[in-house]
Amino acid sequence: MTAACVEARHLIGGRWIGAERTARRWNPARGDELVSVAPVGDRNIVDEAVAAARASAPAWASMTGEARGAVLARTAGALRARASEAATLIAREEGKTLAEASGEVGRAAAMLEFYASLGRQPLGSTLPSADGSMHLYTTREPVGVVGLVTPWNFPIAIPVWKAAPALVAGNTVVVKPASIVPGSMHLLAECFEEAGLPAGVLNVVHGSGGEAGQALVEHPEVDAISFTGSGAVGRRINITAAERMARVQLELGGKNGMLVMPDADMELAADLCARGAFGLTGQACTATSRVVVMEGDEQRFLDALVARTMQIRIGDPLDPDTTMGPVVTEQQLRTDVSWIERALADGAELVSGGVASGSFLTPTILRRVEPEHAIAREEVFGPVLAVMVARSPEEAMRIMNGTEYGLSAGIVTSDLAAAMEFSRTIDAGVIKVNRLTTGTDVNAPFGGMRASSNGLFREQGFSATDFFTRVKTTYVGF
């Protein structure tokens, strides 16, 4: 297995640019293996990247959608050709297992293919007019230069699900990837270049959120910002963007619940909860992080859940037998552990897991969690699952809707009426019946309610281009 170090560069106006100031990323599963080195960009580099994006905007916008789509299709091909290299890099840099990383790469390629096809889809409509001698129609124009700020947990898929709809709609972009996963973004940028994306259409600036990220968000020449990450950072970006009237899309955290109904197949419920909570080391915005079971079902459910969780093999993401990788950083591990300690102090009981060693944390199940406990309400972003008991269906729904978040939610039941009622009353952007709270189709809208999103626009699917376009209405009298 190759253990090469990726030397990431900024990509600005088609040129790969290094810097004296660099940041290093070590493999979280093998502390002594250097995975990537990246330049640390400052305000000046952001200025250059935005200028390059601005300069290339008119030519890119005036190309046909079909031609722009063709570039995305070739990017998908380039990424598929490097799929195994990309998956290995993600596994080494971010820490998800090789199987999970392969899934991410495949999904990113599918996303590129989906948006490639949108180059041929209508963007606008024809309307009947009150004037009989009028041709009335709307068109959608690109917004201009878009800043994309992305988190570390899907280092290729998230930049793709923002960049692909932005590009096919005719925008040019500047990406500021999460600073701990620069190598993955570098590989993706190489795929765009190999596909013949014109210089300056996609630019990448590496560096910290506080410096490069903030400079991008504040930049007066950036017309729109699409951000995925934590609520705290998202809120600040919202204020900064509002001040200068820039369009902003924020997809933030989650505290996703799974409701296990009395009629549920307990094996299925346990499987969905274990995979939803501990897959991707729990580091997914849609991870299952709380379960509500009805009184009387708790022990049966926990027995099945613990048995299923025992099958999880923690280890090096590159080992094919591993089904759960490390926590992404030492800092995140400390955060995860402190949430567990707080839960225990609040009166929760450890059912299994809770053991941290090196950069690994065993899958952690907590019971006797009350809806007002912090562990029932706050995002952990690690392999920690809180189990709560409800005494009535009404109480179950109160608990399910009882956090400030509303990203993904699931129910396990074979009662169709219960499933439909759940879908109607749950306050979440993504609802799953008898399926994982994680994972979505590329052609479906994705996003959260309440504190999980600023809620103005949805990502992914056909609706993603709403954010990246402006509507023009034209009246042609004849």
83 by Cβ neighbours in 10 Å (0-12 / 13-18 / 19+) ranks as middle
The token pair that represents 412 in the structure block: 């396990």
Active-site residue (options: 190, 285, 298, 379):
285
| Residue 464 near ligand NAP by CB under 6 A | no
CB of 379 to ligand NAP, least distance (A): 6
Q: In what order do the strands lie in the sheet with 22-26?
A: 6-7, 34-39, 22-26
217 in contact with ligand NAP (CB under 6 A):
yes
Q: Which amino acid does the sequence have at 322?
A: T
Residue selected from 89, 146, 157, 285 as contacting ligand NAP according to rule CB under 6 A: 285
Q: Tell me the closest approach of the beta carbon of residue 184 to ligand NAP, in angstroms.
A: 12
48, 94, 100, 251: the active-site residue:
251
Q: How many CB atoms lie within 10 A of CB 334?
A: 12
Provide the edge-to-edge strand list for the sheet that holds 124-127.
Answer: 124-127, 134-142, 469-477
Binding marks (x or -) toward ligand NAP, 4..43, rule CB under 6 A? ----------------------------------------
- Give dist(CA 257, CA 234) in Å, integer: 22
Determine the interface stretch with ligand NAP among 182-190, 202-210, 368-376, 383-391 (rule: CB under 6 A): 202-210
285 among known catalytic residues: yes
Q: How far apart are CA 84 and CA 103, in angstroms?
A: 11
In this chain, which of 27, 226, 228, 309 binds ligand NAP, going by CB under 6 A?
A: 228
Q: Which stretch binds ligand NAP (CB under 6 A): 43-51, 56-64, 175-183, 419-427?
A: 175-183
Which C-beta is closer to ligand NAP: that of 214 or that of 437? 214
Site of tokens 């944390």: 361
Question: For ligand NAP, how many residues bind (rule: CB under 6 A)?
Answer: 29
Residues in the chain: 478
Backbone φ and ψ of 62, nearest 5°: -90, -5
Exactly one of 236, 300, 377, 435 binds ligand NAP (CB under 6 A); that residue is 236
Q: Is 230 in the site for ligand NAP (CB under 6 A)?
A: yes
Q: Name which of 60 and 278 has its Cβ closer to ligand NAP.
A: 278
Least distance CB 474 / ligand NAP (angstroms): 35
Cβ closest to ligand NAP, residue 148 vs residue 400: 148
The answer for residues whose C-beta is within 8 angstroms of residue 429's C-beta and 6 or more apart is 406, 407, 408, 446, 447, 448, 449, 452, 453, 458
Minimal distance, residue 225 CB to ligand NAP, in Å: 9
Per rule CB under 6 A, is residue 377 in the interface with ligand NAP?
A: no
Residue 53: CB atoms within 10 Å: 27
User: Within 10 Å of residue 230's Cβ, how many Cβ atoms?
Assistant: 15
Stretch touching ligand NAP by CB under 6 A, among 47-55, 132-140, 231-239, 304-312? 231-239
How far apart, in whole angstroms, are the C-alpha atoms of residue 136 and residue 447?
32
Distances (CA, A) of 304 to 281, 301, 348, 365: 20, 5, 20, 12
Which residue's CB is nearer to ligand NAP, number 208 or number 401? 208
**What's the closest the beta carbon of residue 404 comes to ligand NAP, in angstroms?**
13
CA angle 48, 54, 58 (to 5 degrees): 150
Which residue from 151, 165, 353, 363 is in contact with ligand NAP, where contact means CB under 6 A? Answer: 151
CB 109 within 8 Å of CB 79: yes
State the nearest-atom distance from the C-beta of 202 to ligand NAP, in Å: 16
Residues between 87 and 116 that touch ligand NAP (CB under 6 A): none
In angstroms, rounded to a whole number, what is the distance separating the alpha carbons of residues 188 and 473?
Answer: 36
> Of the candidates 179, 226, 249, 322, which one interacts with ligand NAP according to CB under 6 A?
179
Computed on alpha carbons and rounded to an integer, the radius of gyration of the chain in Å comes to: 23
Among 34-42, 59-67, 77-85, 209-217, the segment contacting ligand NAP (CB under 6 A): 209-217
Q: Which positions are annotated as active-site residues?
A: 251, 285
Interaction site with ligand NAP (CB under 6 A): 149-153, 176, 178-179, 208-210, 213-214, 217, 228-230, 233, 236-237, 251-254, 285, 379, 381, 407, 448
